[in-house]
Amino acid sequence: MTARRFIDRLYYALTLRPVYHSLFWVTLFTIMVFLGLSQHHDLGFVLEAELISLIFYGVLVYFNLLYLIPRYLARNVLWYLGLVIVTCALVTPIRILVLYLKFSGDFGYQEQLVHDQPFLFLGSFLVMLLSTIFRVITDWWRYQREKQNLMTQTIQSELRFLKSQINPHFLFNTLNNLYALTLKKSDRAPDIVLKLSEIMRYMLYECNEKRVLLTKEIQYINNYLDLERLRQTGEADIRFTTEGHISDQTIAPLLFVPFLENSFKHGLNHHVQGGGFVRLHLAVRGEDLEFFIENSKAERLPRQEHPRSGGIGLVNVRQRLNILYPDSYNLSVEDEPHRYAVTLQLQLN
């Protein structure tokens, strides 16, 4: 964790504009001094001469960054390159004149300046071109980071919205069931309150993470099913089995809740005479998870006196899966006259 924090801080420091500009100039000055020492062995002379050249390079680079690139590069590349050449043609003679007058006592160096005019012009042009490439790369990189940050914020907002549709809906149904049992003064009401408190603790304190332990999600399902068993009448067959190594796996929280809700709301709850079934099976094989749920369908749906609010449905589930497990899941539905089944296969990591 310490090494990761150090890398993050180093990355943040290197992406600060004053830092990478300073690194650019220090690197360029070092290269210039190294090349100058290959021609002149007086270190003090080379440092002074290359510092003057560096000042002229700075004028060229920041004139390019602050004026030429913003105004002309995107409009017309050829026109921009022409202005770069003109700028180098104007600044290079001034640089040569300053160096010529500064080192007036060194006739060999003055003669070399006059002889190397084309190379000095080419060096100025290459430095401006290098600054252009550097600017284009940093702008592209900054755009990609901003785009990624915006995408991340959008995804997080969408996930919060999708998950917010799950929690109140289940709570609303459970409170309705609890209210019905309290009216009957049922002995099962305290058990429902206890299970509901465990579910709400999980929702409020543990589901804000991007991933939760699969074991906790399974416990949530068991609590959900226990609530339904307390509420159901008749001989309803409610079963949940697991298979494979599940202790160390993680998964997006509340991913299976819509399937659970729909299996009871649109399936088992319509069996007026009791009976019916909801069967779940969760299998983990390596990094692959398969979740299967099926429920019976009543032959005749009971007439509803009042319209009920709709569930969050498979649309919500697919949206979350597309965000959380892109290109790594498969969701299939079997809708038969007396049976409804959903199979979800996904890669956990």
pLDDT given at position 308: 40
pLDDT at 269: 59
Residue 276 region by backbone torsions, left for phi larger than 0, else alpha for psi between -120 and 50, else beta: left
- Given this model, what pLDDT does residue 345 score? 95
The answer for 307, left when phi > 0, alpha when psi is -120 to 50, beta otherwise, is beta
CATH 3.30.565.10 residue ranges in the chain? 187-347
Residue 222, burial from CB neighbour count under 10 angstroms (0-12, 13-18, 19+): middle
Which are the contacts of 167, defined by CB distance < 8 A and separation ≥ 6? 203, 207, 254
| Segments of the chain with pLDDT less than 50 | 1, 272, 302-311
Rounded to 5 degrees, φ, ψ at 293 are -140, 135
Coil, helix or strand for 346?
Answer: strand
How much is the pTM? 0.55
Q: What is the pLDDT of residue 150?
A: 77
State residue 158's pLDDT score: 64
CA distance 60 to 65: 9
CATH, domain range 187-347: 3.30.565.10
